[in-house]
Structure 1
Amino acid sequence: MAKKKDEKTNVMRILDQKKIPYTARFYEEGDGPMGSREYGLHVAQTLGIDPARSFKTLVARGASKGIYVFEVPAAENLDLKKAARAVGEKSIELLHVAEINAVTGYIRGGCSPIGMKKQFPTVLHASALNFDTIDISGGKIGASVELSPRDLLNLVGGTAADIIV
C-alpha cells in the first residue's frame, strides 16, 4: 500500500509564514508507549534522532492558575520545583490528559509549543542551546520538526533554564 502524502501541520504553516527554516519529519504512529518519557524515546528512536536533541512538550498549571509550557529532552523528566522557579510560581503541576486539548488545541502525543490556542510562557531546557537544531512535535502524532532552538525561543518568546531532574 502506498504511503499517503504527508500534509503540512499548523506548526509547519506557522514556521513557513514566519520564514523560519525547519525540516519536517514524519513517522508511523503505531502503538508506541504513551508515558511521556517512553513516548518521547520511542519517537526519537523511530526517527533515528539522538534523544538528547529530541524534545517533548509538557504543559503545566501554576499555583496562580497560569498555564506554562516546558520543552524537555525526551529521555528526561521535568523537575516541578525547578520549573516553578523558572516561571516565578510557588508550585506547578502537569495538566491532566483530559485538559490538554481544551487548553492547547492539541492532543496528547501531538502537543507543540508552536500554534497553541494561546501563546503561553514557554521554557526550553538549557541543554537545547548546545545544539544547532532540535526536534519538537510537529503538532500532531506522527509529525515532528527540526529547527534551531534559538529560532524556537524567538518565535514563542521563550526562555531557557535548567528544568529537569
Structure 2
Amino acid sequence: MGKEVKTNAMRILDKNKISYEIINYECDEFIDGLHTAEKTGAPVEQSFKTLVMQGKSKQYYVFVVPIAEEVDLKTAAKAVSEKSVEMIHVKDITAITGYVRGGCTPLGMKKQFPTVVHESAASFSKIYISGGRIGTTIIVNPDELLSVVRGQYADIIMH
C-alpha cells in the first residue's frame, strides 16, 4: 500500500499537532452522512456534516451539525450575528471552499470562515467529520477541532 495521500484538512491537523484517525471507504459519488456512517460504522450521533451558508452581509459561514439533524436557520444566523443565513448553491461549493460536495470539511477551506459547531459535539471525546474528499472520514477531538478553526459551540439545530 502506498503512503496516505493527505488532504488539506490532515495537513492542518498535523501542523497544529492534533492527533486524528482516518477512515477511508469506497465511494465514487456523493452520499449523505447517514450512509457514510453506515459504511464506516461511525456512530450516527458522533458524525457531523459541514454546511456552508451565506449571511445577509454576503459573508460565508461554516456550520458543523449532527448528520441526522437540520440546521435551524434563525438560531444559526443569531449565532453569527446575522439577520439571516441561507445555504450556498451546490454548484458554488468548490469555488467557495475548495472542496467538492460530500468532501467538505471545516478544516482547510480556501479561506477560514467563521465556524459554528453544534454544542452536542462538546459531549464527545471524538467526532467524525469529512476528511476533505469523498471516501475519507477524520475522527478528531471536537475541542481541538474548534481551536484550529477558531470556532464556537452553539445550539443551531431544529428542535
Q: Is the shorter-chain TM-score for this pair beyond 0.5, marking a shared fold?
A: yes
State the 1:16 CA deviation: 1.0
Identity of aligned residues (%): 55
> Does residue 1:115 correspond to 2:108, yes or no?
yes
CA deviation vs aligned residue, 1:3-26 (integer Å, no higher than 9, x gap):
876422121111111110100111
Q: Is the 8 A contact 1:54 1:136 kept in 2?
A: yes
Q: Is the 8 A contact 1:32 1:42 kept in 2?
A: no
> Does residue 1:148 correspond to 2:141, yes or no?
yes
Aligned position for 2:67: 74
AA of the residue aligned to 1:28 = E
Moved more, 21-30 or 122-131: 21-30
Question: 3-state SS of the aligned residue for 1:20?
Answer: coil
Distance 1:69 1:129 in 2: 17
CA deviation vs aligned residue, 1:111-133 (integer Å, no higher than 9, x gap):
11100000000000000001000
Aligned position for 2:27: 29
Alpha-carbon RMSD:
1.4
Question: 3-state SS of the aligned residue for 1:128?
Answer: helix
Equivalent residue for 1:40, pick from 33, 53, 56: 33
Structure 2 unaligned runs (5+)? Answer: none
CA deviation vs aligned residue, 1:42-95 (integer Å, no higher than 9, x gap):
111111011110100000000011100000001111111110011010000000
How many pairs does the alignment contain?
158
Structure 1 unaligned runs (5+)? Answer: 34-38
Question: 3-state SS of the aligned residue for 2:92?
Answer: helix
